[in-house]
Structure 1
Amino acid sequence: MAPAAPYFVTETGQNWTPIGQNDALTWPDLAGLFCRRNVAAVEGHLAWLAAHGVTCLRLMLEYCQTEHRYLERPVGRFQPNMVRFWDDLFALCARYGLRVLLTPYDTFWMARRWRYHPYSRAQGGPGTRRSQWLSCPRMRQAIKDRLSFAAERWGSSGALFAWDLWNEIDPAHAGKRPEALTEFISDLSAHVRAVELRCFGRTHLQTVSVFGPVLGHYPTVAEVVFQHPQLDFATTHFYEAATINNPKDTLGPARATGALVREALAQLPAARPFFDSEHGPIYTFNNRHRTLPEAFDDEYFRHMQWAHLASGGAGGGLRWPYRQPHVLTHGMRAAQRSLAAFTELLDWKHFQRRNLSHEVAISSPAFAAFACGDTRQAVVWLLRQDRPTTRNSTRRRALPPRAIQLTLPGLAPGAYRVHLWNTVAGTAGGHLLVQAGAEPLRIDLPAVGADLALAIVAEG
C-alpha cells in the first residue's frame, strides 16, 4: 500500500491502480490454457488486456460449476493439470505486467453444488454442512493446507497482487454467528503471513470480500470487513437490487455505485484502500436469462467505473461479465483504457481522498456529481441525469452541451490545473487554470455534454 494514502504502489514506489475484471478458468478468454490447448490465444489475450490499461484480474483457484476444475480431488491431492494451469498463468501475467487478486474458493458454486465438492463429507472430505465451513476444525485445516500450497508455489511471483482470503464471507457459513468471522480472518491471515515470511521473508496484501446485501442482514459484519486490523484493504461486491442487479437505465447504477463507495469510505480507517471487487447485472443474467444489449451494457459499465473512481474507490471496480459469451465487450475494454489513461494525471500515492459527492455544488440540476479530494488534488465526474439512456434505447440520445459552474470545498489556496477528460474517447479535452482562495474552488465549464471527468491538481 502507499505509505501516505489509501491507494497502491508497485515495489518501486510507482502509482498502481487496480483496473480489470473477474475471470475464470472455464471462460473463453482463459480456457485455452487448461491442458495447454491454446496457450498462444491466452497469451495474445493477456497482451491485449495490458495494451488496454488492464492491470488486475480477480480469479478463484478453482471453478465449481462443473466437475472438471477442482484444484484438489480428493482433498489434499492437487491436480497436475490445474497446478500447471496456474504455473503458466502466473508466468504469462508476469510477462505482461498483469497482477492477480487470488481467492482460494469459488464459494458461489461450491455452496450450490456442495455434495459434489471434494471437501464435502459425501466425497470423503472434511466438511459436513455449509453452515460449518468457517468453524469446522477439519475444514479449517483443509483451507489452510490449500493456502499453504498456493503461497509456497506462487507466492514468489510478482504477478500476485493480493490474497482475497475468502470470497463473500458470510455468517451463514459460521452458524449465523457474525462474531465468528473475526476469529476466522485472524487465523487465516496469520497463517498465510507465516507461510510467506518463512518462504520469502515478505508478505502480500490481504483482504476478504463480502456480498454487499449481507451487510444489511448482519450490520456488524461491516466492522469486520472494513476494520479488521490484520487486513490491508477492503473489498465488497456491489449488488444493489433496485439498480445494479437489473438495470433499467445507466444513471441508477452509477448513482448507486457512488452511494455505496461513500458509505464504505465512512466505515474505513482513513489510510485503508477500498474497491468493489465484483459487480454486474446478476439478476438480469442469472434469473431472467438475458444478456444486456451491448451498447447499453457498455455505457452501464462505463458509468459505474467512473462513479467508483470519482467517489474515492481505487480504480473502477471489477466487473463479473454476466454476458453470453462470458467475456467483457470491446466497448468495456475501451472504457478501461480511458480510465487507465486518466489515472496518470493524478499522484495517487499522495492522495488522501475523502468523498465530496454531497459537498460539491453544481449550478445545474441536470447533472449529478461524483467527487473526492484532499487539500491538493481532486477528482470529479459529472453525469447528465435529465435524459438517461434506457435499456430499450436503440441509440444514445444526443445531448446539447450546457455551461455549468461547480464549486469544490477542501482545496488549499493556490493555483490549480483542471484537466478535462472525454470518458468515451479516452482523450484530454484541454485544461483550465483556476485559483483557490479563502472560498471553495470555483470552476466554470463552458460546455458539458453527456458526462465529463475532471482531474484537479495543484500547480507546483
Structure 2
Amino acid sequence: ALVITPEATIAVAPSARRGHARVDGAWFRWDDGSFLYPIAYNIRSPVDTVDARFGAFPRPDAAMGSLVMEGFIARLAAARINVGRVWMSPWFGGLEWHQQHAGYHGLGRYNLQNAWRLDQLFACAARHGILLELALWHHGPFTRAYDSQWKENPYNQAHGGPLSQPGEVMTDPEALRLAADRLRYIAARWGADPALFAWTLWIESDAVAKPEPTIAWHRAAVEVLKRCDSGEHIISTEFCATPGVEALWRSPDIGYVQMGGYSHADGLIRTFTKRAADLQYGKPLVIEEYGGHSQGGGLRWTAHELHDGPWVGWMLPFAGTPMPWWWNLVFAHGLERHHHRFADYIAGEDLRTTSWRYERPIVEGAPGLAALARVSSERAFAWIHAPAISDLRPSDRSWDNSADKAEQLYVERVGAFDPTATTSTALFPEVAGARLRLDGLGLRPGRWRAEFWDTWSTAAPAQVELTIAETGDQALALPALSRDVAIKLVALP
C-alpha cells in the first residue's frame, strides 16, 4: 500500500570531516581539496620479536591486543602523526589461519574476533583524527624464505589447503576465489570507514612469486576492490627489492609507490636519495619502512636515523614522511617527539602550490656540515647536518655485521650524545660564523624571513629578516650550531 507521510524539514549542518584521502598528482589531498602530507608510522601489531636485538626495554603485553594498539594510536595523535599502518596478520588482525590458533577456523571462515578488533582500531583512529593504512597480505605465510610461516599456513596442502607451493597463492583457482571472497568482505566491512587511508594489497610480494603472476593477481584484486569499496580508497602494494615490479607502479590501478628505506649502514641520506631517484612514476612516493638495519641492532645509531628521517624526506620528492619501523622502541623512549617537532615545522604548508627544486647548497665556513634543500622562488626549506653522523657508512657493511659496526662508529663520532635522551647535548663541536650560500637557488630578490628550528628540542624557532639582492653576495648567516638545524625561508611582501 502507498503511504504518504507529512512534510518534514531536515536541517543539514556543514561537516567537519574532510572526506577520504585521495591522490593528487604526486601528492595526497582530502576530498574537500585540502592538502594531506602523511606523517606516518608503522604500528603493525602489538609486538615485534625482531626488536629483541636492541636489548631490554619496556614492551607491551601482546595479549592485550587492540587495547595496546589503541594506545599506539593515542600516542600518534598526541605527536601530530596522522597516519598509521596496520597489517592483517596471523598474530593480529588476520581473518584466516590454522584452526589450532585461537579464534581461527581455517579457510573461508573468518576470525570475527580479529574483525571486531580492527573495528575498534578504526573507531579509535576516527576519534583521534588518525588515518590507518591497512595491509591485507604479507610475504611470511606464502614464502619458504625469510619470515616464513608456510608450515603453519592453512593454504598448505599439508593442512588440507589447495597449495603445494606457497607461490601458487597468486595462480591457484581456489586460492584466487578465496582471495576475492576475502576482498569483498574487507571492502564491505571497512570500505566506508572515514579513518581508512588506503589499502596495501601486499607487503613484499616479490618474496612470494615472480612478476607475471603477481601482476595478474593485483589486477584481479583491484577489480574486486573497485567494485566493492564504497569509499573508492587509494590502492597500493609493496615490494622488498627496489624497484619492485615496474608494470604495477606504472599501472593507473596503483595509486602510490612505496618502498623500504633501511640504510643497512650505507648512509640514510644516500639511501633515501637513491629511492627518490629510482622510483619516480608520476605519482606519490613514500618510504614505508626505515630505521637502521631491517633485522635490528645498534640502538643509538637507529634512534638517530629515526630522528633524521622526516627532515631528509622533506628535502626530497617524497609525498609523506618516511615511516619508522621499531614502534615499540619509539614508544619506549618517546621518540615520536621528533615527528611532533617536524609536524610543527611544516604546519600549514601546501606543497602543491609551486614546483620544487631539490638542491644541496654550500654551508660556508663549516667543512663538517652540509645542507639539503627544497626550493621555490617564494619559499625554501633547508636542513643543515653533519654527514659523518647523519649519512654514516662504516667500512664493514656486511649483512651480519653492519648494525654493530654502525653503532660502534656512531658512538665514536658523537661521544656522549644520546639520541634517545629527552634533553639534548651537543652533537658535534660548536660551529660559529657559518653561512648558507643562497646563490643559484632562484630565490626572488627582496625581503625574506628566516626561521631556525633546532630539530632536537621544543624551543621556539629563532627568526631573522634578510634581503636577497639580485646580484652580489647571497648568503644566510647561521647561528652558532652544535646540532643539526632546519631552516624555513619565506618571501615577504
How far has the Cα of 1:451 moved from its partner?
Answer: 0.8
Whether the aligned pair in 2 keeps the contact of 1:261 and 1:313 (CA below 8 Å) is no
Alignment pair present for 1:231 and 2:275: no
> 2:197: which partner in 1?
161
Q: 1:183 to 1:45 in 2, by over 3 A?
A: closer
The one of 204, 208, 224 equivalent to 1:173 is 208
Whether the aligned pair in 1 keeps the contact of 2:265 and 2:293 (CA below 8 Å) is no
Give the counterpart letter for 2:116 in structure 1. R
1: CA distance, partners of 2:188 / 2:34: 27
RMSD, aligned CA: 3.2
Whether the aligned pair in 1 keeps the contact of 2:86 and 2:132 (CA below 8 Å) is yes
Whether the aligned pair in 2 keeps the contact of 1:275 and 1:317 (CA below 8 Å) is yes
How far has the Cα of 1:273 moved from its partner?
Answer: 1.6
Whether the aligned pair in 2 keeps the contact of 1:59 and 1:101 (CA below 8 Å) is yes
Whether the aligned pair in 2 keeps the contact of 1:62 and 1:70 (CA below 8 Å) is no
Give the counterpart letter for 1:126 in structure 2. P
> 2:8: which partner in 1?
none
Report SS of the residue matched to 2:335.
helix
> 1:350: which partner in 2?
353
> 1:369: which partner in 2?
371
2: CA distance, partners of 1:416 / 1:5: 29
Alignment pair present for 1:333 and 2:336: yes
Give the counterpart letter for 2:305 in structure 1. Y
Larger radius of gyration, structure 1 or 2?
A: 2
Report SS of the residue matched to 1:311.
coil
Report SS of the residue matched to 2:203.
coil
The one of 56, 61, 64 equivalent to 2:88 is 61
Q: Residues 101-135 of structure 1: CA distance to partner in whole angstroms, max 9, x if unpaired?
A: 11112323553011211222222333331233323
> 2:41: which partner in 1?
21
TM-score by length of 2: 0.75
How far has the Cα of 1:72 moved from its partner?
Answer: 5.7
> 2:284: which partner in 1?
273
Give the counterpart letter for 1:59 in structure 2. V
2: CA distance, partners of 1:333 / 1:169: 29
Report SS of the residue matched to 2:154.
coil
Give the counterpart letter for 1:395 in structure 2. A
How far has the Cα of 1:33 moved from its partner?
Answer: 5.3
Give the counterpart letter for 1:409 in structure 2. L
2: CA distance, partners of 1:75 / 1:22: 28
Give the counterpart letter for 1:381 in structure 2. W
Matches within 5 A, 1:72-151: 73-108=105-140, 110-111=142-143, 112-151=148-187
Q: Residues 334-371 of structure 1: CA distance to partner in whole angstroms, max 9, x if unpaired?
A: 111111111205223425444334xx333244223222
> 1:450: which partner in 2?
483
How far has the Cα of 1:329 moved from its partner?
Answer: 3.7
Report SS of the residue matched to 2:170.
coil
How far has the Cα of 1:237 moved from its partner?
Answer: 0.8
2: CA distance, partners of 1:3 / 1:437: 39
Q: 1:109 to 1:117 in 2, by over 3 A?
A: closer
Q: Residues 382-431 of structure 1: CA distance to partner in whole angstroms, max 9, x if unpaired?
A: 11235677146651144203312222624455554332211111444223
1: CA distance, partners of 2:102 / 2:435: 55
How far has the Cα of 1:309 moved from its partner?
Answer: 2.2
Q: 1:74 to 1:42 in 2, by over 3 A?
A: closer
Alignment pair present for 1:321 and 2:350: no
Alignment length (residue pairs): 421
Q: 1:349 to 1:316 in 2, by over 3 A?
A: same
The one of 317, 332, 348 equivalent to 1:312 is 317
> 1:248: which partner in 2?
none
> 2:29: which partner in 1?
9
Percent identity over the alignment is: 23
1: CA distance, partners of 2:63 / 2:80: 23
Q: 1:121 to 1:427 in 2, by over 3 A?
A: farther
2: CA distance, partners of 1:458 / 1:385: 29
1: CA distance, partners of 2:25 / 2:469: 25
Alignment pair present for 1:194 and 2:227: yes
Report SS of the residue matched to 2:137.
coil
> 2:429: which partner in 1?
399
> 1:247: which partner in 2?
none
> 1:48: which partner in 2?
75
Whether the aligned pair in 1 keeps the contact of 2:261 and 2:275 (CA below 8 Å) is no
Structure 2: runs of 5 or more not aligned: 1-20, 48-58, 391-408, 418-426
1: CA distance, partners of 2:103 / 2:447: 56
1: CA distance, partners of 2:25 / 2:467: 25
TM-score by length of 1: 0.80
How far has the Cα of 1:70 moved from its partner?
Answer: 8.7
